[in-house]
């Protein structure tokens, strides 16, 4: 198997941790946080001389997430838990090119 095929078959993941804003901490909802991360990835990709595959995969995963119907459901659920004072994170995993989204409540 070639390197790019091996990477496609690996599971990659990262977490988004939305927060409410307080007097001390500026927070972001899940959608705003996702868009912020997407823009950060884009800026990094534009600054790099070569292609950083990790950043490119994260960028693509965020685009898929924001376009998916799951993102709206997870945003609503995460805001409900945040309103209850709980900490939440959304784990975005890509396994064999397929996205998976998990809401983790702490």
User: Which helix (H) or strand (E) covers residue 58, if one does?
Assistant: helix 53-67
> pLDDT tens-digit profile of 55-101?
988 999 999 999 999 999 999 999 999 989 899 999 999 888 788 99
Domain that holds residue 55: 3-105
- Supply the pTM of this predicted model: 0.80
Overall domain count for the chain = 1
CA 36 to CA 31: how far, in whole Å?
9
Confirm if 34 and 101 have CB atoms less than 8 A apart.
no
What is the per-residue pLDDT for 22? 67
> pLDDT tens-digit profile of 4-46?
544 454 568 889 999 877 667 667 889 999 999 999 999 999 8
């Amino acid at each position: 198997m070639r390197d790019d095929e091996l990477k496609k078959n690996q599971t990659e993941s990262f977490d988004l941790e939305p927060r409410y804003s307080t007097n001390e901490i500026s927070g972001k909802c899940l959608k705003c946080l996702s868009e912020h991360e997407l823009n950060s990835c884009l800026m990094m990709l534009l600054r790099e001389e070569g292609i950083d595959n990790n950043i490119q995969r994260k960028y693509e995963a965020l685009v898929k997430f924001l376009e998916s119907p799951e993102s709206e459901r997870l945003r609503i659920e995460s805001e409900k838990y945040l309103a209850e004072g709980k900490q939440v994170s959304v784990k975005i995993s890509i396994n064999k090119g397929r996205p998976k989204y998990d809401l983790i409540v702490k």
